[in-house]
Amino acid sequence: MPNSSRTFWSKMLAATCFTTAAFFGPAAAEPKTEMVIAAPFGPKSSVPDPRARQNGWLSNRAGVSETLIGIGYDMTLQPRLATGFENLSEREWKITLRKGVKFHDGTNVTAQAVKESFEKLSEEGHPGNNPRLVKLLNIESIELLDDNTLVFRTHAPNSAFLWSLTEPSAAVMKDGTEAMPLVGTGPFVFEKAETEKTYVVTGFADYWGGAPKLDRLVIDAIGDPSVAALALQAGDVDLVTNYPEPDFAKLLEEGKGQLFSEATARLFFFQPRVNGGPLSNQAVLNAVSLGLDRDTIVAATLAGVGGQSANGIFPASMKSWVNDDISLSYDPVKAQSMLDEAGIIDSDSNGIRELNGEDIVLKIRSYEGRAALRPTLEISQIMLQQIGLGAEIAMGEFGANNEALKAGELDLHLQAWGTAPQGDPDYFPSTLVATGGSYNVSGYSNPELDALLERGRGLFSSEERKPVYAEVQAIINRDLPLIPLFHKTQVSVGNGKVEGYRIHPAETYLANPELAIAE
């Protein structure tokens, strides 16, 4: 953001605070502080309801919306808008609300308001409609016991229900107005959004957790981390959340910069098309995984500061759920031998093996927004060529890539997902590899895996659930409906004045009342 823009926004901020004071009553005096953060992705519309699609992640990080339950930095369930949560039976969950919470329009958060917010998830045509979350929560009914207590009943046993309530899309919202289009409960009030560009919020003096130290927060979408780094150097932003790893490593070595680093549950992985094309052949699919040197990819793309090679879908830091007995090896000799034994050879000596009389040229795509995606794509292309598999690579748009994979126009989509945004092991496999999963666009279907996932949701003790999800992880490594590459460490850099910032391992939280710019 140029300095002239900052002058403009400071004037706008003064006007906004005046309006807010007039609406809510007495507020803090003159505006004092503004922070500008560069993030990889921006809003998907000018009024992005947090309950719809993936809008909740940005809204949650910006401090506009909140869920009933949160996830702590130790990845355990924490009170948020709810101070109590109790499993009454396999299908019933009692939620006790925090008292004294206000929506941004000054009205109180009540059990009725929470019920109405969740009902919008399944209301077709409503801005908060979210069929994916409706399926995930599987709510049959919501009963009001009093103004501060509700009972959620699910259609079937679901031990992950409370964890699902932590998903940012499960935000408690009130229908907006033209003057205030998004009415949440967080420490910041939605001011404006520009599609794919910027998201602007102002401090909410009546926040239940205390008035925020910032008067205004601007999140600018800068998809290229190198450009974001330049913006920080120029003083146009105060913090870059996803800094280029090689540049971060250099700053670390030189002892310069305000550096933040934290291991996360984000997984970089390939999603292959397995219901058609070359990768429907298990020998080719296995060879792809064996031909990828994960340690080299991590060293080359993450400069030794950005991640760890993957042995499965969950990182070692997820001690409660990770299967420590599985691994993903690099063995190009075995990959080539496997292809040879399957009769998949290079008969015309052009360097590319053939399947059914045609050269195997895998169409692979990824997207901008995360610095490590493009180099990972490029290195993977070279590694696959070394075992005789051709690869055409390109960058596209995330949603378009998924549609192309589903339509059979792509063979592999390189992606980066948080595997445990809710802290529970069910979300990631149920979303990506279960039959009918909302992001299962690869064509994979395995009744054995589906039965395990259903069983896991019906068990309510971690001791009983762990072996179930350990087997899920083993099946994924065996069948490879996903090809894990590495787990990401998020690295961020501030301008030396950022206070109150901490990287959350689930990456779903950012803005809080303590976030500030030092004088």
Task: Report the pLDDT value the prediction gives residue 421, as an integer from 0 to 100.
Answer: 80
Return the number of other C-beta atoms located less than 10 Å from residue 481's C-beta: 23
pLDDT digits over 53-112, tens only?
889 999 999 999 999 999 998 888 999 999 999 999 999 999 999 999 999 999 999 999
pLDDT digits over 342-387, tens only?
999 999 999 999 999 999 999 999 998 788 899 999 999 999 999 9
In whole angstroms, what is the distance from residue 309 CA to residue 299 CA?
A: 9
Q: State whether residue 478 is helix, strand or coil.
A: helix
In whole angstroms, what is the distance from residue 182 CA to residue 378 CA?
A: 41
The residues, ordered by sequence, that sit 6+ positions from 347 with a Cβ below 8 Å of its Cβ are: 354
Contact at 8 Å (CB) between 35 and 217? yes
In whole angstroms, what is the distance from residue 435 CA to residue 275 CA?
A: 12
Task: Report the pLDDT value the prediction gives residue 396, as an integer from 0 to 100.
Answer: 96
- H-state helical runs in 309-372: 332-341
User: What's the full length of the chain, in residues?
Assistant: 519
Mean pLDDT of 437-457: 96
Contact at 8 Å (CB) between 346 and 352? yes
Task: Report the pLDDT value the prediction gives residue 202, as an integer from 0 to 100.
Answer: 98
Token digits of residue 458: 């019906």
Q: Where in the chain is the domain with CATH 3.10.105.10?
A: 263-490
Closest CA to 315 of 473, 190, 437, 467: 473
The residues, ordered by sequence, that sit 6+ positions from 330 with a Cβ below 8 Å of its Cβ are: 290, 291, 292, 293, 294, 295
pLDDT digits over 274-284, tens only?
999 999 999 99
Q: Please give the biggest Cα pair distance in the chain.
A: 80
pTM beyond 0.85: no
Task: Report the pLDDT value the prediction gives residue 22, as an integer from 0 to 100.
Answer: 37
Q: State CA 202 to chain mean position distance.
A: 24
Say if strands 182-183 and 174-175 run parallel, antiparallel, or are unpaired.
antiparallel
**Please, what CATH class does the domain formed by 3-238+495-517 belong to?**
alpha beta
CATH of domain 263-490: 3.10.105.10
| More confident call, 68 vs 8 | 68
Q: Where in the chain is the domain with CATH 3.40.190.10?
A: 3-238+495-517
Closest CA to 284 of 56, 72, 52, 483: 483
Q: State CA 63 to chain mean position distance.
A: 16
